[in-house]
Amino acid sequence: MYLSSKEQKKILKLIETLGQSLDSETMRQSTGYVMLDLLQSDYLGSFAWDEKKNSFDKGVCINMSQANLLNYKNYYHKYDTITDQLMVRKSATRVNDIISQQALTKTEFYNDFLAVDGLYYGINLHVFNDNENIGDFRVWRKKGRENFDDKSVYMLNMIKPYFCNAMRNIRQHETVLSIHPEQSICTERLDIHKLKLKFSLTKREAQITLEIIQGHKDDTIAIKLHIAFSTLRTHIKHIFAKLKITSRSLLIRKVLSEL
């Protein structure tokens, strides 16, 4: 399928964003803005499946109210027959591929949940680690726009393996820290001077590298180091370039294995 140069650049930016955080919510929020731009959409919700709770958790949203997102978690998920059908597809699927728009607008789920924030046409992507759902993107357009087309499905499926890999890496990192919390402590023994010399980092880049290894969120790092969020992201890009890696999980492996 033909993609314009602008669409190709947006997809590359989206793929890059997917690998820039070891925190699931931060990654999905940042990626969500790029995805809305790529798919010319208005709303996004995203969840990570919690096997222990047997429910969707760690929800993030863009242009949807947090109160409505909480309503979904506490009540409307019980009346959401759409997501289960979309989830089993294991690939990008339009809502209208499993239910007509006319039928959708007659449901309680639409009238009391989706319509509250203006969600009308939808498309979902669910990713799996083997048979375990590990995350999703639920993208929506408002009434008056065109429905999602085949190109939207194609582009969303293009980023599927990268999204899956990002969620898998985040889960592995969270598991290691929960089983071996001492790993967070041992990184304090890393010498900033050694980091600077080994990887040609500035003092600030070395500080940020240590924070990333300890699993801290981007907003937490920015506040702790008293720098703007945009400045932090620029530093992280420079670190990735110097270490010749493309994700935080690779950064952690490289630093801990070489120092």
Which residues span the domain enclosing 246? 180-258
What secondary structure letter does DSSP report for 147?
P
Q: Please report the pLDDT score of residue 253 as a whole number.
A: 77
Q: Please report the pLDDT score of residue 38 as a whole number.
A: 96
Within 10 Å of residue 85's Cβ, how many Cβ atoms? 15
For β-strands 132-142 and 119-129, DSSP reports them as antiparallel
Residue 20 has pLDDT above 80, yes or no: no
Are residues 9 and 80 located together in one domain of the fold?
A: yes
Are residues 215 and 196 located together in one domain of the fold?
A: yes
Q: Please report the pLDDT score of residue 182 as a whole number.
A: 45
Are residues 127 and 165 located together in one domain of the fold?
A: yes
Average pLDDT score, the chain? 86
- In this structure, what CATH number is given to the domain that contains residue 141? 3.30.450.80
Are residues 148 and 54 located together in one domain of the fold?
A: yes
The CB-based long-range contact list for 182-190 (8 Å cut-off, 24+ gap) reads 184/214, 184/215, 187/213, 187/214, 187/256, 190/255, 190/259
Final residue belonging to a domain, choices 116, 148, 177: 177
Look up the pTM and report it.
0.72
Cα–Cα distance for residue pair 207/95, rounded to 1 Å: 45
- In this structure, what CATH number is given to the domain that contains residue 245? 1.10.10.10
Q: How confident is the model at residue 22 (pLDDT cuts 50, 70, 90)?
A: low
Residue 190 has pLDDT above 50, yes or no: yes
Are residues 219 and 196 located together in one domain of the fold?
A: yes
Cα–Cα distance for residue pair 205/26, rounded to 1 Å: 20
Number of structural domains the chain divides into:
2
Are residues 160 and 58 located together in one domain of the fold?
A: yes
**Count of helices and strands (H, E) across the chain:** 14, 5
Cα–Cα distance for residue pair 252/257, rounded to 1 Å: 8
Mean pLDDT, residues 161-185: 69
Distances (CA, A) of 194 to 191, 223, 238, 240: 5, 25, 18, 17
Beta bridge partners of 132: 129
Are residues 191 and 168 located together in one domain of the fold?
A: no
Q: Please report the pLDDT score of residue 186 as a whole number.
A: 47
Q: Please report the pLDDT score of residue 148 as a whole number.
A: 97
Within 10 Å of residue 183's Cβ, how many Cβ atoms? 16
Q: How far is CA 62 from the centre of its chain?
A: 12
What secondary structure letter does DSSP report for 76?
G
Are residues 129 and 79 located together in one domain of the fold?
A: yes
Q: How confident is the model at residue 185 (pLDDT cuts 50, 70, 90)?
A: very low
Q: pLDDT digit string (tens) for 240-254?
A: 999 998 877 788 878
Residue 178 has pLDDT above 70, yes or no: no
Cα–Cα distance for residue pair 86/92, rounded to 1 Å: 8
Are residues 51 and 158 located together in one domain of the fold?
A: yes
35, 37, 43, 49: CA torsion to nearest 10 = 10
| pLDDT higher at 41 or 258 | 41
Amino acid letter, residue 30: S
Final residue belonging to a domain, choices 177, 203, 219: 177
Q: Which class for 125: exposed (0-12), middle (13-18), buried (19 or more C-beta within 10 A)?
A: buried
Q: pLDDT digit string (tens) for 27-75?
A: 899 899 999 999 999 999 998 877 777 777 788 999 998 888 888 888 8
Distances (CA, A) of 28 to 25, 53, 111, 127: 5, 21, 27, 13
Q: pLDDT digit string (tens) for 124-144?
A: 999 998 888 899 999 999 999
Q: Please report the pLDDT score of residue 132 as a whole number.
A: 85
Final residue belonging to a domain, choices 132, 156, 177: 177
